[in-house]
Amino acid sequence: MAILSRYLKLYIVAGANNLKSLVVYKVDFIIGLVSMFLNNAMRFLILLFIFRLVDQIKGWSFDQMLFLYGFSTMVTGLWHCFFINVISLPYYVRTGGFDRFLLRPVNLLFQLTIDSLDEDGWGELLLGMILVLTAYFRLELPAAKLILLIPAVLSGTAVLIAVSLMLSSLSFVSVGGVPIMGLLVKMFEFTKYPVDIFGNTLKIVLSTVIPLGFATFYPGMMFLTENVALYLPLVLLFSAGYFMFSYFIWNYSLKFYVSSGS
């Protein structure tokens, strides 16, 4: 486990550096903190406003939607905290900055993720936790089940990581890099709502081809239904497998990059 502790140490040092990079600009940092809070609070408020207009959406009550919204915010928030730099890969490839990673004795994906940490993610994660806990108790779900949140969120995040990783790997293969950032963020909108409001075809797509359903909805179902025995193993197996698949794609694309130059 010496490797693990080394990476952990690296992570902390790099994270500290990133934080220092922000704090150095005091005015901006304060503006950023305030805005971060505003941003996240407002996203929640909008949801609230929507639900002032209506009692339920396709059979889902406000509290259930709130739970799912909060859960998905936690998952995207967690992804945001640790993995968001992956979508900047086209930039690194274009400027030759990625070669710098190749020169270091550290795992490439790891280097990519720590090179720049986005502090917005923490606010998102926190907001998600608040929403989830609020909805959880309003729905009067058993407290014992709370422990399941950990595997649920982790596997959901794994799926998001996998999707973003595969899209990102395109940068290794295509000529100028592919601007996936906007696309990815907009795709994540899908994750905030129950998959079955999207009509049948889209529902199938979201469960298989681009399995964003497995990022939030299906893990969330562990809590919204009694059927834990079904959803828990399903979600865990899928996310583990999918993540490994995406890592394989990443390595494969990397080989292509390394043999074709920039």
Partner 1 sequence: MEQIELKNLTKTYVSKELRSFKDYFLALLGRIPERRLDAVSDVSFSIAKGEFVGLIGRNGAGKSTLIKLLTGILTPTSGEISVLGRVPHRSRRQNNYKISAVFGQRTQLKWDISAYESFRLIRYMYDVPEARWRSNLERFVRMLDLSRLMYKPVRTLSLGQRMRMELCAAFLYDPELVFLDEPTIGLDIFAKEVIGDFLLEIKRSKETTVLLTTHDVSDIERLCERTMILDGGKVVFDGETNGIAEILEMGIFLEFKCEKRETVLPPGLAGGQAETLPHCIKINGVDKRDVPRLTQSVMGLNNVLEIKVEPPDFEKVLKNFYASKIPFGT
Partner 2 sequence: MRAAFARVGFTQNQVYSISTYLNILAAFLFVSVQYYLWSAIFEHAVHGQYSLSDMLQYVLAAEVLSVCLHSNADRQLGQMVRTGSLAHVMLKPVAFTEQIFFESLGVNAYRLLFICVPLVLCSIFAFGVEYHFGPARLAGFLALAGLAYIFIYLFELLLGLISFFSVNTWGINSLKMAVITVFSGRFLPISAYPENFRALVDELPFKIMYFEPLNFLIKGGDWAGMFIRQCGWIAAAFLVVFYLQRALLKKMVIQGG
User: Which positions touch partner 2 (CB under 8 A)?
Assistant: 21-22, 24-25, 27-36, 38-39, 42-43, 45-46, 49-50, 52-58, 119-120, 174, 178-180, 182-183, 186-187, 189-190, 193, 197-199, 202
Decide which of partner 1, partner 2, none touches 141; Cβ closer than 5 to 8 Å per partner kind. Answer: none
Q: Which residues of 70-108 are buried (b: 16+ CB within 10 A; e: fewer)?
A: bbbbbbbbbbbbbbbbbbbbbebbeeeebeebeeeeeee
Residue 258 as a binder of partner 1 (CB under 8 A): the answer is yes
Residues 165-194, one symbol each (x = binds partner 1 by CB under 8 A, - = not), give: ----------x-------------------
Taking CB under 8 A as the binding criterion, the range among 39-47, 158-166, 225-233, 252-260 that sits at the site for partner 1 is 252-260
Residue with the two structure tokens 């903190």: 33
- Scan residues 13-32 and list those touching partner 1 (CB under 8 A): 13-14, 17, 20-21, 24-25
Decide which of partner 1, partner 2, none touches 258; Cβ closer than 5 to 8 Å per partner kind. Answer: partner 1
- Scan residues 59-118 and list those touching partner 1 (CB under 8 A): 95-97, 99-100, 102-106
Give Cβ neighbours of residue 247 (< 8 Å, ≥ 6 apart).
109, 162, 165
Choice between 22 and 129, CB closer to partner 1 = 22
> Phi, psi at residue 57, to the nearest 5°?
-125, 115
Q: Are 207 and 195 in contact (CB under 8 A)?
A: yes
Decide which of partner 2, partner 1, none touches 244; Cβ closer than 5 to 8 Å per partner kind. Answer: none
Longest dimension (CA), the chain: 57
Q: Given the rule CB under 8 A, which residues bind partner 1?
A: 6, 9-10, 13-14, 17, 20-21, 24-25, 95-97, 99-100, 102-106, 175, 255, 258-261
